[in-house]
Amino acid sequence: MSFVRYLFLLLLCFVGVGLAAAQDHPVNYDEAKVPAYDLPDPLVMEDGTRVETPEQWRKSRRPELLRLFEEHVYGRMPKGAAEIRAKVVNECLALGGRAVRREVDLLVSGKADGPIRLLIYSPVGVSGPAPAFLALNFMGNHSIQPDPEIMLSTQWIGNRAGHGIEDNRATEASRGKLSSRWPVERILARGYAVVTAYYGDIDPDFDDGFANGVHPALDPEGDAERKPNEWGSIGAWAWGLSRALDFLEEDELVDAERVAVLGHSRLGKTALWAGATDERFALVISNNSGCGGAALSRRCFGETVARINRVFPHWFCERFRSYDNQESRLPVDQHQLIALIAPRPVLICSAEEDRWADPLGEQLAARAAAPVFRFLDSASLVHRLRPGEHDVTDEDWTAYMDFADREM
């Protein structure tokens, strides 16, 4: 068989799989086709008793909800502490002396692929350690800023299912490619530090049976099959955000008690789960996070549970797949994920034209989570809808920083 014919047959195979997925899980953009649904009350325990005091929420209901999300959606993170060593690999003044740029490798013991490399820009001239925005990035640290001194990522670069077989490595041409989403100098001028890491350093974004990234170092030894409640990639990325915060607690440049965790799209899902599982994050921002993020699963609008599990089977735990086209059977929904962050401030950002992420579903989830924030005497839950598409814009960053100014 000729190489050209082989490539043609391979392309037909991928097209066939894509068409089958589309036929099995059609997308709904019609509000009239949203099924009737009842949302589980975040303030009612599994046994039917109602939460009466903040202490009961903290000691009973919150742990119960966390367990349900672990068991049915994101999977359980490893309970044992991993041995991690931090090594500063690059540090100097940058951006015309307006910032300190530091690159730090978090070295995970065991069978991890390589270091989780943090890139930190901290403003010069602020009084004391700076508050910070912590977020993962999609294309390597070098992609957020055209700074020629940022070390190029050596990991596979990509964020689409099925591309794991490609050798897609960072090049000089990719420097600053995502800088429109990262207005570093504006953020620094407002007095905030920027902390980021490439999410592929933690776990590559393709379905490889969890053979790469941090899973081999942290999953149980042996050849036993993975359990239905074991963590997927979103759990690993959230775990990595917490390990970054561990480092910031020891760093003199950043005020670790004023760190806002944020994310866009699949990394918005990750930011919400990180904020729910790690109460050290002072503020949580989700941007266009959609299904498995801030949007209600039961609405079955835009990207659905069945579609996301079909295309990205590695993001969630295996048990989540049992709710494909059966969202009403889920014991939780995403308003309860938002509620888990209370009473800390939460900003849910949506875009009008991003119907795939269901902006109305995100708004309704925020509304359904609001009783928990009021119950805990916190009014710091905001849903924001802007014109435009699925992206991170200058307007978004203005909203992030204004919110942080008020709440952090």
DSSP secondary structure string for all residues of 214-267: THHHHSPSSSPPPPTTB--HHHHHHHHHHHHHHHHTT-SSEEEEEEEEEEETHH
Pairwise CA distance, residues 209 & 192, whole Å: 38
Can you give the pLDDT at residue 351? 98
Which residue in 233, 265, 289, 297 is the catalytic one?
Answer: 265
Question: Cis bond leading into 313, ω under 30°?
Answer: no
Structure tokens at 2: 């000729």
The pLDDT of residue 16 is above 90: no
Window from 42-46, 172-176, 181-185, 195-199 with minimum mean pLDDT: 172-176
Q: Report pLDDT digits (tens) over 135-153.
A: 999 999 999 999 999 999 9
CB 53 within 8 A of CB 210: no
Q: Is 383 a catalytic residue?
A: no
Window from 24-33, 216-225, 295-304, 325-334 with minimum mean pLDDT: 216-225
Can you give the pLDDT at residue 23? 52
Can you give the pLDDT at residue 123? 98
The pLDDT of residue 55 is above 90: yes
The pLDDT of residue 17 is above 50: no
Task: Work out the percent of the chain whose per-residue pLDDT is above 70.
Answer: 91
- In the chain, the amino acid numbered 243 is R
Which residue in 163, 328, 378, 390 is the catalytic one?
Answer: 390
The pLDDT of residue 318 is above 90: yes
Q: Which residue carries 């502490």 as its tokens?
A: 81
With cut-offs at 50, 70 and 90, classify the pLDDT of residue 111: confident
Q: Report pLDDT digits (tens) over 356-379.
A: 999 999 999 999 999 999 999 998
Pairwise CA distance, residues 155 & 200, whole Å: 7
Pairwise CA distance, residues 77 & 69, whole Å: 11
Mean pLDDT across the chain, nearest whole number?
91
Write down the pTM of the prediction: 0.92
Q: Report pLDDT digits (tens) over 393-406.
A: 999 999 999 999 99
- In the chain, the amino acid numbered 222 is G
Backbone angles phi, psi at 149, to 5 degrees: -90, -10
Could you give the C-alpha distances from 234 to 115, 237, 378, in angstroms and in order? 18, 5, 27
Rg (CA), the chain: 21
Can you give the pLDDT at residue 24? 60
CB 150 within 8 A of CB 170: no
Can you give the pLDDT at residue 18? 44
Letter string b/e over residues 247-261, b meaning 16 or more CB atoms within 10 A of that residue's CB: bbeebebbbbebbbb
| Mean local confidence (pLDDT), 41-53 | 98
Can you give the pLDDT at residue 84? 93
The pLDDT of residue 197 is above 70: yes
Q: How far apart are the first and last CA of the chain?
A: 63
Structure tokens at 155: 């990991």
| Mean local confidence (pLDDT), 28-56 | 97
With cut-offs at 50, 70 and 90, classify the pLDDT of residue 6: very low
Q: Provide the 8-state DSSP code for 73.
A: I
Q: What is the chain's percent helix, strand, coil content, to nearest 5?
A: 40, 20, 45
Q: Is 265 a catalytic residue?
A: yes
With cut-offs at 50, 70 and 90, classify the pLDDT of residue 170: confident
Pairwise CA distance, residues 338 & 42, whole Å: 10
With cut-offs at 50, 70 and 90, classify the pLDDT of residue 1: very low
Domains of the chain: 54-407 (3.40.50.1820)
List the one residue out of 174, 152, 173, 176 whose CA is nearest residue 95: 176
Can you give the pLDDT at residue 110? 77
| Burial zone of 48 (CB within 10 Å; 0-12 exposed, 13-18 middle, 19+ buried) | exposed
Helix (H/G/I), strand (E/B), else coil: 306: helix
With cut-offs at 50, 70 and 90, classify the pLDDT of residue 126: very high
CB 94 within 8 A of CB 146: no
CB 63 within 8 A of CB 89: no
Task: Work out the percent of the chain whose per-residue pLDDT is above 90.
Answer: 81
Q: Report pLDDT digits (tens) over 62-107.
A: 999 999 999 999 999 988 778 899 999 999 999 999 999 999 999 9
Can you give the pLDDT at residue 159? 54
Window from 94-103, 222-231, 273-282 with minimum mean pLDDT: 222-231
DSSP conformation letters of 314-331:
TSS-GGGGGGTT-GGG-S
| Mean local confidence (pLDDT), 170-196 | 95
Window from 224-228, 297-301, 368-372 with minimum mean pLDDT: 224-228
The pLDDT of residue 15 is above 60: no
- In the chain, the amino acid numbered 289 is S
| Burial zone of 55 (CB within 10 Å; 0-12 exposed, 13-18 middle, 19+ buried) | exposed
| Mean local confidence (pLDDT), 7-14 | 39
CB 340 within 8 A of CB 276: yes
With cut-offs at 50, 70 and 90, classify the pLDDT of residue 9: very low
